[in-house]
A and B are shown apart, each in its own frame.
Chain A
Amino acid sequence: MHANAFFLGKGGVGKTTLSAAFGLSLARSGKKVLVASLDPAHNLGDVYGTALGDAPTPVEAGLDAMEVDLSAWVEKYLDESRRELKTTYSYAGTMNLDSFFDIMKYSPGTEEYAVLWAIEHIHCELAADYDVVVFDTPPTALSLRFLAMPAISNLWVAELTKLRERILERRTSITRVNPESAVASSCVDKDDDKVYGRLGAIRKRLAALQNLFSHESYVAVVINPDQLSVSEAIRIQDELEKIRIPLSGICVNKRGVSKADWSLDKRLRKIKTFDFGFRADGLHERGDLRTIETEELVADFMAAGPKGRA
């Protein structure tokens, strides 16, 4: 069995509802489950009928849930960087670093990294208390960007590491020939070079996240019986293939909601499909989540995984 499950898909297809029902079903089968919403527009608490925050909150026996506060993660990270920068470049206090960091909140990549830090925090600090962590993700665009971020960043970090190695080699050569060179006062050894060490630490963190997505997670795409969400699912599959994250299941939610023609593309037919019927009378309370037939999906999740054990 995998330790994590991710539900991806177009906005409004029912990712939160299925994540909540899936988590509830697992908890009622005896597993200890944490359901974490990564969507900046949270409504996991509304589905469970419980007020949720940035820390796990008990929903019922064996089931905790949380709504990750992404803006708090961005603030936390920028605060740490601001402190470190102010120590190193204290002479540049007149630069007004605070206003620079206010701009950084909106820099491309910052929100995706905030999601990664939140997932890393859950994986490293909280997951040990649970058998399974279920992630309800934001709509496709942000989800694909944060899933791709470890792979893309690692390419950059690998190149920067190679360049840093060349720099350290040159410094070593210069110091050997001319110990009185100004270069001799800078770091020449990989073990002492803080930049090299930091690059290694970043690479390790990103590799762990990449491994989490690729090998330790059950990734399901939620679609509705309409061509738009099917087209988006194909795009998700293509993007996940590029970053080597296998797609484990397709959840067709709201089956029978309309009589419009639709078909599952042949590229998606290779992946196991799970049907969830449309409920005309809606879902009003947590107990109604039990009416969603998640047994087949739960069974597949339990059977999947590196060791294929339940």
Chain B
Amino acid sequence: MNVFLRKLRSAWRIVAQVHRERAVGMLEFELKELENIFTLLLLGGFVGMPSPPAPIAIELLPLLEREIAVMLSRSDLAQDPIGALMGVLEVD
């Protein structure tokens, strides 16, 4: 009986976690886009986008390790942003 209850609890935890992951999928997508935009705004001057004075970007650069990683990973999807969004929305 105990084993059964343990397995049931474990299965419930897995199901709950799956639902939690699905619930925040869209928010995580939006967060990555926001982080990407934040970094692009700061460093956009290097690719010709309007950006704040370079010294502001230089001052923030040492703190943007995560954001730069996100920006680089988003650039992989730059050719197919709609596809990435459809993936999150689970549209086949």
Chain A residues with CB under 8 Å of chain B are 77-78, 81, 84-85, 87-89, 104, 107-110, 112-113, 149, 152-153, 156-157, 159-160, 163-164, 166-167, 170-171, 173-174, 177-178, 180-181, 183, 186, 194-195, 198-199, 202
- Contact between B38 and A163, CB atoms less than 8 A apart: yes
Within 8 A of A (CB), among B28-78: 28, 30-31, 34-35, 37-38, 41-42, 52-56, 58-67
- Taken together as a complex, chains A and B put the C-alpha atoms of A170 and B20 apart, in Å, by 15
- Contact between A183 and B28, CB atoms less than 8 A apart: yes
- Contact between B20 and A177, CB atoms less than 8 A apart: yes
- Taken together as a complex, chains A and B put the C-alpha atoms of A153 and B30 apart, in Å, by 27
A167 partner residues in chain B, CB cutoff 8 A: 31, 34-35, 38
A194 partner residues in chain B, CB cutoff 8 A: 63
The 5 nearest A-B residue pairs measured at CB: A109-B53, A156-B52, A178-B20, A170-B31, A107-B54
- Taken together as a complex, chains A and B put the C-alpha atoms of A111 and B45 apart, in Å, by 17
A153 partner residues in chain B, CB cutoff 8 A: 52-53, 56
B23 within 8 Å of A by Cβ? yes
- Contact between A88 and B56, CB atoms less than 8 A apart: no
- Taken together as a complex, chains A and B put the C-alpha atoms of A152 and B41 apart, in Å, by 15
Residue of A whose beta carbon sits closest to that of B30: A170
Chain B residues with CB under 8 Å of chain A are 17, 20-21, 23-24, 27-28, 30-31, 34-35, 37-38, 41-42, 52-56, 58-67
- Contact between B54 and A170, CB atoms less than 8 A apart: no
B67 partner residues in chain A, CB cutoff 8 A: 195
- Taken together as a complex, chains A and B put the C-alpha atoms of A220 and B50 apart, in Å, by 33
- Contact between B27 and A170, CB atoms less than 8 A apart: yes
Q: Is the interface of A mostly helix, strand, loop or mixed?
A: helix
Known: A113-B55, A163-B41. A88 touches B31 (CB 8 A): no
- Taken together as a complex, chains A and B put the C-alpha atoms of A158 and B48 apart, in Å, by 22
Contact among B24, B34, B53 for A166, CB-based, below 8 A: B34
- Contact between B56 and A202, CB atoms less than 8 A apart: yes
- Contact between A178 and B24, CB atoms less than 8 A apart: yes
- Taken together as a complex, chains A and B put the C-alpha atoms of A188 and B55 apart, in Å, by 26
A89 partner residues in chain B, CB cutoff 8 A: 62, 65
B37 partner residues in chain A, CB cutoff 8 A: 163
Residue among B38, B56, B61 having the largest count of chain A Cβ atoms under 10 Å: B56
- Contact between B62 and A85, CB atoms less than 8 A apart: yes
A/B interface sample: 26 pairs, CB < 8 A? A77-B55, A78-B58, A81-B62, A89-B65, A104-B58, A107-B54, A109-B55, A149-B53, A153-B52, A156-B53, A157-B52, A157-B56, A159-B41, A164-B38, A167-B34, A174-B27, A177-B27, A178-B21, A178-B24, A180-B20, A181-B21, A181-B24, A183-B31, A195-B64, A198-B59, A202-B56
B17 partner residues in chain A, CB cutoff 8 A: 178, 180
A160 partner residues in chain B, CB cutoff 8 A: 38, 41-42, 52
CB distance from B56 to the nearest CB of A (A): 6
- Taken together as a complex, chains A and B put the C-alpha atoms of A156 and B63 apart, in Å, by 18
Contact among A108, A152, A156, A178 for B23, CB-based, below 8 A: A178
- Contact between A173 and B59, CB atoms less than 8 A apart: no
B52 partner residues in chain A, CB cutoff 8 A: 153, 156-157, 160
CB distance from A162 to the nearest CB of B (A): 10
- Taken together as a complex, chains A and B put the C-alpha atoms of A167 and B30 apart, in Å, by 9
CB distance from B82 to the nearest CB of A (A): 21
